[in-house]
Structure 1
Amino acid sequence: MKLIEKFSIPNELAKKMIEAAENKAKELGIAVNITIVDEGGNLVAFSRMDHAPLLSIGISQNKAYTAIGFKKPTGDWYPMIKDEPALLNGIVHTPKLVIFGGGFPITVDGHVIGGIGISGGSAEEDEMCGEAALQIVQQLV
């Protein structure tokens, strides 16, 4: 039997991504929660900026989990399902699934190594913070 090789985000990279997301949030004048999980959805790093909404803690975690669970940004979900009432009304009851922007898979060389979830601003602002964090990954590979 052959073992499965997995690739995972290192803590050091996660911390740099959090810093980039926080810097973008400060630039936008918002306070956010940032969650980074590994390829299995396990917490690697988390930051709650001062004054970030409390309920957004769990939302950021669920965005990161959704992003790795389906290997796609959470913002892709609503446009995919908006015209399918049965799916739209049913899938939103799936635990931890988020269908609005702010969650992204973290991919290196075609491998999903983790996910990032940002919550506290609008979906667009959360996505901008996530994209700033993902630029750190691109610079290092």
Structure 2
Amino acid sequence: MQTKAILGLAEVNAILDAAQQAAEANGWQVTVAVTDDSGELLGLRRLDGAAPMTAMISAQKARTAALSHKETQVFERMINEGRTAFLSAPLEGLLEGGVPVVVDGRVIGAVGISGVKSDQDAQVAKAAVAAIG
């Protein structure tokens, strides 16, 4: 029987806390979403001042990163470089800011950030993932 690492409550809270710290250090109002490896939401934190729609977008970015095992910037870049047919894929959250959580070479979840520029969202997401190293 195989075993796998999972994101427990302690890891989810560490990710949420690290993302909040990274965002607040830059004065950014964002929402942070954390999912398991199947893209199901484990935690969500909308910082004061973050727009309501950022909750939905951050969760979609995290889900896409978890299911694809790729950072969502891959999809944004692909579409921006002309592969617009990819917009018909059954995924949402195709903007930069979704980052998978990888442990021992396996994706165990993902983080999605929404609220600032896409590259800034990704910066916060990467800081959050790094918190559980």
- The alignment's TM-score, normalised by the length of structure 2, stands at 0.90
Separation of aligned partners in 1, 2:79 and 2:90: 17
Tell me the secondary structure at the aligned position of residue 45 of structure 2.
strand
Tell me the secondary structure at the aligned position of residue 115 of structure 1.
strand
What's the offset of the Cα at 1:98? 2.3
What's the offset of the Cα at 1:7? 3.2
Separation of aligned partners in 1, 2:79 and 2:88: 14
Question: In the alignment, what sits opposite 1:111?
Answer: 106
Separation of aligned partners in 2, 1:81 and 1:49: 29
Contact 1:41 1:115 in 2 (8 A): yes
Contact 1:75 1:103 in 2 (8 A): yes
Q: Give unmatched runs, 5+ long, in structure 2.
A: none
What's the offset of the Cα at 1:96? 4.0
What's the offset of the Cα at 1:10? 1.0
Tell me the secondary structure at the aligned position of residue 137 of structure 1.
coil
Tell me how large the CA RMSD over aligned residues is.
1.6
Separation of aligned partners in 2, 1:68 and 1:111: 11
Q: Percent identity?
A: 29
Offset from partner CA, 1:82-126 (integer Å, 9 cap, x none): 344xx41x3224444222211011000111110110001111111
Distance 1:96 1:81, change over 3 A: closer
Distance 1:95 1:59, change over 3 A: farther
Question: In the alignment, what sits opposite 1:123?
Answer: 118
Contact 1:7 1:39 in 2 (8 A): no
Instruction: Name the larger-Rg structure.
Output: 1
Q: Give unmatched runs, 5+ long, in structure 1.
A: none
Tell me the secondary structure at the aligned position of residue 92 of structure 1.
helix
Question: In the alignment, what sits opposite 1:73?
Answer: 71
